[in-house]
Amino acid sequence: MPRACLRATRLTARHTPASTRWRSHWNGDEQGRAYAAHGLGFSSHGAGRNISRSAHVRQLSAEYGADSRGLSPNNIAAILEKETSGLDVRFFSGFADVSELPSAYKSAANVRAQIEHYGLAEVVDEVIPFGSIMAGDWQKNAPWRKNRR
């Protein structure tokens, strides 16, 4: 299953007691789950990357046999199917940004092990995401590029 495409989000007072409202965050994992943790004054932003954006795109290009023009629409469709199967994934720009897909990020199992090892937080819940909304490839068909044509 794909890793959750969720980013860290602070929970509001509605979700946690007023005294703890700033100590919770969400992270995702490769099984498509997310978890909420009490951060003890600490809150990470997402699980963190395993690989840079450009290196991830190069890796996917090599894996899917892309030429010098980059990944084709068929390559991107295959990558999306593989990494987001079972999730409702949308891109605000209308174009997928493969550098933001789950395979570029650490798994929640590794993050949870580090949290426990260093005593950074207490995991209190897990949720299974239904989907994700991402910015997408904001450089493709950007308004400032369209005007140049």
Angle formed at CA 30 by CA 71 and CA 67, multiple of 5 degrees: 10
Give the model's pLDDT for residue 5: 33
Burial class (CB in 10 A: 0-12, 13-18, 19+), 58: middle
Give the model's pLDDT for residue 65: 94
Instruction: Find tokens 């490769």 and name the residue.
Output: 30
Give residue-wise pLDDT tens across range 14-56. 333 333 333 334 455 555 555 555 555 555 555 678 899 999 9
Two tokens, residue 110:
């590794």
112 sits in which H/E element: helix 108-118
Banded pLDDT at 73 (limits 50, 70, 90): very high
Cβ neighbours around 81 below 10 Å, total: 10
pTM of the model: 0.61
Report phi then psi at 123, rounded to 5: -75, 125
Give the model's pLDDT for residue 55: 94
Domain ranges of the chain: 18-146
Give the model's pLDDT for residue 115: 81
Give residue-wise pLDDT tens across range 89-146. 999 888 899 998 888 888 878 888 888 898 877 777 766 678 888 888 878 877 777 7
